[in-house]
Structure 1
Amino acid sequence: MSSPTSPAGAPAPVAPAGGLRFAPAAALVLGLVLGAGGVGVAWALGGGDGAGYSGAAGDARHACDALEGFHETDDTAKGAKRDIAFNRLAAAGVLSDAAAAGDPEFKPLAEAVRRVLNQQMRFADFSEPEAKKELKAARSVCAGL
């Protein structure tokens, strides 16, 4: 039996028998999995913000963190600042709804954040006193958690 040949007539490379070789894609996947695991372990061992919060309480805490990180002046900015503000406010809405679905205790938070979102849609910014009032009320609900 003859060796396979390339179109140029030279013998094609053959993998050594008995050796275990990882394809580059498999090595990449393995590296990503190990890296993600390392980050997860570091995060779990690091404790700090949010440690001990899970389920509905965790969702509520994260909703309040997103609301705290929302800067109403960035809502009318251009580019990334506006995108960040919009996404933080949206995240607060989704997380507060999840918290309320998990525990009725968080329904006031979800309602307060929903009013903030409604004001944003109504006025497109937070320069109106009514919009500022709703944002302050939602942050007050967060302060009480």
Structure 2
Amino acid sequence: MSSQQPSPAHIPPTDAPDSPATPAPRKASRTLAAALIGGILIGGAGVGVAWAVSGDGSSANDAAGDARDACRALSGFEPSDYTAKGAKGEIALNRFGAAIVLSASAAAGDAQYKPLSEAVLLARNTHAVTYDFNDSRVKKNLDKARQICDDLD
């Protein structure tokens, strides 16, 4: 038997690229923003459901209860922890998310809570653009939401 060597036509060139075309890089900021917003909404919904299920009964499943719970989440939200690693960051992310979805639920149930929902949503939307809770526009809307919460008591 004779051993056959592959013909040069069957040997792939060593300087060939791994793939025929390299795709253009995606806009990382858009992907990150979408992931953050999705995470906030999912996390907030999870926290809201957990509070509703395990609550002490002091807040009913009504608009006023949702507003109180949104304010409770917002009062426990520490913006400086938002980017922290581990539990501290997860808590901040979920509390902010809970404030967003619960204030939206309150506004859907009763128009008197619409200013609370708008302030929290404006804070979220501005933060999604700036990624900075120290931005004056983000602070302004968080302060406005917290003031509305203070006025609810």
TM-score normalised by the shorter chain: which range applies? 0.5 to 0.7
Residues 123/101 of structure 1: CA separation in 2 closer, same or farther (3 Å cut):
same
Helix, strand or coil: the match of 1:127? coil
Gaps of 5+ in 1: 1-39, 45-50
User: Does 2:145 correspond to 1:132?
Assistant: no
1:43-122 superposed matches below 5 A:
43=56, 51=58, 53-122=60-129
**8 Å contact 2:81–2:92 — kept in the other structure?**
yes
TM-score between the two structures when normalised by the length of structure 1: 0.62
Q: Where does structure 1 differ by over 3 angstroms across 4 or more consecutive aligned residues?
A: none
**8 Å contact 1:72–1:125 — kept in the other structure?**
no
CA distance in 2 between partners of 1:65 and 1:75 (Å): 17
TM-score between the two structures when normalised by the length of structure 2: 0.59
Q: CA RMSD in A?
A: 1.9
1:76 offset after TM fit, Å? 2.1
Gaps of 5+ in 2: 1-53
Q: State the number of aligned residues.
A: 99
**8 Å contact 1:75–1:125 — kept in the other structure?**
no
Higher relative contact order (CA 8 A, sep 6+): 2
% same residue: 50
